[in-house]
Amino acid sequence: MSGHAGIRLGYTIAFLNIVTSDTDAMTSPLHAVGFMYENGAAVVYLAGDHGGERRALIKLLQNARDWDLLVTWGGSIVPFITSRALYHRLEPTPIHELVQLDLRRYVGERLGLADKRLDEVAAFLHVRAKSASTSIRKRCLNDLRLVRGVFEKLRPLLRWTNPELAL
C-alpha cells in the first residue's frame, strides 16, 4: 500500500503467474502475466502479440516496484520474465529487488511433495479451484487463486520455517 509523499505503509505480497506455450523464453513469447494480492484483487495482462507482450511486461515491472514479497509456483517464472524483458530491452531489476518465495520448491522440500502440480498440491491441502477453462485469462486467474490458497494454508508453517518473510 502506498501512503502520502511516496511513503509506503504495510507489507505487500503479490502472487505471480504467467501463461506461455513453452518454458523456453527464447522461442516462446508470454501469452499472459497476472498477479494477485492477499485480498484477492487480481490483474491479468494479455499479451496477444509482440507489442502486447512488451506492454504487459512494462506494466508488470511498474507494479512490482510496490511489492515486498513475490510468491510463485515454480522457479522458472522470474527467469522467464527476466529473459523476455531483456529481449524487449526492458530493465528487469524491479522483479529481482523483491524477496521471492517459490511455493513449489517449498512444498517439495518441507512437505515431501516434490514434482507435484499446483492443482495436485492444492487439492491435497483442500484448496478449492474453479472449473478448468480454455481461456488464457481464466487459466491465469485460476492458478493465481490456487497459489494464493496454498500460501494461505501454509502461512502458519511459513511463519515458523521462514521468519525472514515477516509474515
Mean pLDDT of the chain: 91
> 13-20 and 42-46: which strand pairing?
unpaired
Per-residue buried b or exposed e for 58-86, using 16+ beta carbons within 10 Å of the residue's own CB: eebbebbeebebbbbbbeebbebbbbbbe
Parent domain of 114? 4-165
The total domain count for the chain is 1
> Tens digit of pLDDT per residue, the chain (167 long)?
444 455 555 789 999 999 998 888 998 899 999 999 999 999 999 998 888 999 999 999 999 999 999 999 998 999 999 999 999 999 999 999 999 999 999 999 999 998 899 999 999 999 987 777 789 999 999 999 999 999 999 999 999 999 988 88
The pTM assigned to this predicted structure is: 0.90
CATH number at residue 69: 3.30.420.10
The confidence score (pLDDT) of residue 62 equals: 97
Q: Which amino acid is at 48?
A: G
The confidence score (pLDDT) of residue 4 equals: 44
DSSP 36-83: EETTS-EEEEE--SHHHHHHHHHHHHHHHTT-SEEEESSTTHHHHHHH
- How many other C-beta atoms can be found within 10 angstroms of the C-beta atom of residue 102? 18
